[in-house]
């Protein structure tokens, strides 16, 4: 496999976390890494600042969008919000698994309905199991939330790398998204359950979410290139 083919294979598995409140800065960061990262994560901060425009800007760069708003409310409210968000063209959208099966089911149905009305493919609903910043969750929580995600029709889950074994066993058909990624030598910061990119991929991750290791680097483009080619 050539280096170009290897990069093409790894690019869709890398998401850049655009945790900023300025769309111009977010676009600049995304553009600088878009040759190496195929997915732009638009989180609550950026979406609150820029709204749906942020999704279109990232798509114009040739990137898929991971809308990380972590919906969590009563099922009726989540369903209605998901219907709106499902029409925006994102590829992934997060909901908190702790909201329960009825809430997740309402979210999935809302995403499907919104996308259908807009003539788009439905976003993959991702159930967030336990945050990578949370080191104190009881051992039974992740398996329980994985089962809820499966039973509610979610297309994927968000989990720490250390939970990938449970995810492969309990929810093998679901897309596995892993945040808290820190390359060797990069500080974990607030990520209590961080992992290196290679460890996460070897554990079965389908999508790695990487932020400060690239966005806070002196040269984000070079940091992105080094990371991508190191995995390709």
What are the residue numbers of the active site?
70
- Angle among Cα 18, 81, 125 to the nearest 5 degrees reads 60
Given a contact cutoff of 8 angstroms between Cβ atoms, the answer to whether 66 and 15 are in contact is yes
**Closest of 189, 187, 159, 188 to residue 171, by C-alpha:** 159
**Cβ burial 187-213 (10 Å sphere, 16+ → b, else e):** eeeebebbbbbebbbebebebbbbbbb
CA distance 132 to 121: 29
């Amino acid at each position: 496999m050539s280096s170009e083919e290897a990069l093409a294979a790894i690019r869709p598995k890398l998401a850049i976390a655009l945790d900023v409140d300025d769309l111009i800065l977010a676009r600049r960061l995304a553009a600088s890494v878009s040759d190496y990262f195929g997915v732009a994560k638009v989180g609550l901060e950026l979406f609150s600042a820029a709204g749906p425009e942020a999704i279109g800007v990232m798509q114009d760069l040739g990137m898929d969008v991971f809308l990380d708003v972590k919906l969590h409310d009563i099922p009726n409210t989540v369903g209605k919000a998901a219907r709106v968000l499902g029409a925006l063209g994102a590829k992934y959208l997060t909901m908190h698994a702790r909201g329960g099966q009825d809430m997740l089911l309402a979210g999935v149905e809302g995403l499907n309905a919104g996308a259908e009305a807009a003539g788009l493919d439905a976003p993959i609903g991702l159930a967030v199991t336990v945050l990578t910043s949370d080191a104190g969750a009881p051992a039974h929580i992740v398996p329980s939330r994985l089962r809820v995600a499966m039973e509610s029709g979610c297309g994927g889950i968000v989990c720490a790398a250390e939970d990938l074994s449970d995810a492969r066993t309990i929810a093998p058909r679901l897309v596995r998204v892993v945040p808290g990624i820190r390359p060797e030598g990069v500080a974990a910061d607030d990520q209590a359950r961080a992992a290196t990119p290679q460890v996460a991929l070897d554990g079965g991750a389908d999508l790695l979410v990487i932020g400060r290791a690239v966005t806070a680097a002196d040269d984000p483009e070079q940091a992105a290139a080094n990371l991508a080619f190191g995995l390709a």
